[in-house]
Amino acid sequence: MLGKRIRLFRSRKGLKQKELGEMVGFMGKTSDVRIAQYETEARTPKDDLIKQLADIFGVTTRAITVPNIDSYLGLMHTFFALEDEYGFQISTDKDGRPCITLDENHQAYDQIAPMFFAWLSQYSKLKQGEISEDEYDNWRYNFPNIEPTAGYVKNAISDKLDAELQDALSEEMKKRGLL
């Protein structure tokens, strides 16, 4: 998944592998090879390189390093971990389709609900034509760092909660043999 995300953001910036490789300091003939290795996941970039890539792409490191959801099983176990740790619930909408909701009684609800409402607000603006797909993507890939002055909701997610979420997802996926 990490490789796909690097390729996605490189393509969004209109960069060739060689150009990106040179921007992060790989010189000569190895610049495109190294980026290709990261994109095919033959190699895994270290945290400092991920930070460098995020800066070049204009996104947060979290946008690049999402949990392992390369398979439907991995995705399901991510949902299970979210259910365990943050009170996500499976239910149905008015038409009987499955959907994910938040348990209002869960201790994390007051932290997570405002973030969901911020997301819903941006998604609604996109669907109503008030913002472009690029503006929506910029908001998503830089969440929660977009300033309210830009017309977006800035969220007060704490570093601690963010770290706990990432740790909980990783731990749950390790327990289930997915990492």
Query: Do 27 and 79 sit in the same domain of this protein?
Result: no
What is the C-alpha end-to-end distance of the chain, expressed in Å? 12
Give me the residues paired with residue 90 across strands. Answer: 100
Query: Do 108 and 152 sit in the same domain of this protein?
Result: yes
Query: Do 151 and 92 sit in the same domain of this protein?
Result: yes
Choose the final residue of a domain: 40, 64, 88: 64
Q: What is the pLDDT of residues 38-49, one digit of tens each?
A: 999 999 999 999
> From CA 114, how far away is CA 157, in angstroms rounded?
9
Q: What is the pLDDT of residues 154-165, one digit of tens each?
A: 444 455 556 666
pLDDT band at 88 (very low <50, low <70, confident <90, very high): very high
Mean pLDDT of 85-102: 95
Q: How far is CA 31 from CA 38, 58, 104, 155, in A?
A: 11, 20, 50, 37
Q: What is the pLDDT of residues 97-148, one digit of tens each?
A: 999 999 999 999 999 999 999 999 999 999 999 999 999 999 999 988 875 4
Question: Omega of the bond prior to 148 within 30 degrees of 0, cis?
Answer: no
**Which range (9-13, 51-55, 83-87) has the least confidence?**
83-87
The letter for the amino acid at 169 is L
Q: What is the pLDDT of residues 49-82, one digit of tens each?
A: 999 999 999 988 888 887 777 788 878 888 988 8
Residue 70 CA to chain centroid, in angstroms?
A: 13
Query: Do 114 and 55 sit in the same domain of this protein?
Result: no
Report residue 90: phi and psi, to 5°. -90, 135
> From CA 68, how far away is CA 75, in angstroms rounded?
7
DSSP 39-64: HTTSS---HHHHHHHHHHHTS-HHHH
Query: Do 52 and 122 sit in the same domain of this protein?
Result: no
Query: Do 113 and 168 sit in the same domain of this protein?
Result: yes
Task: For residue 35, give its domain range.
Answer: 2-64
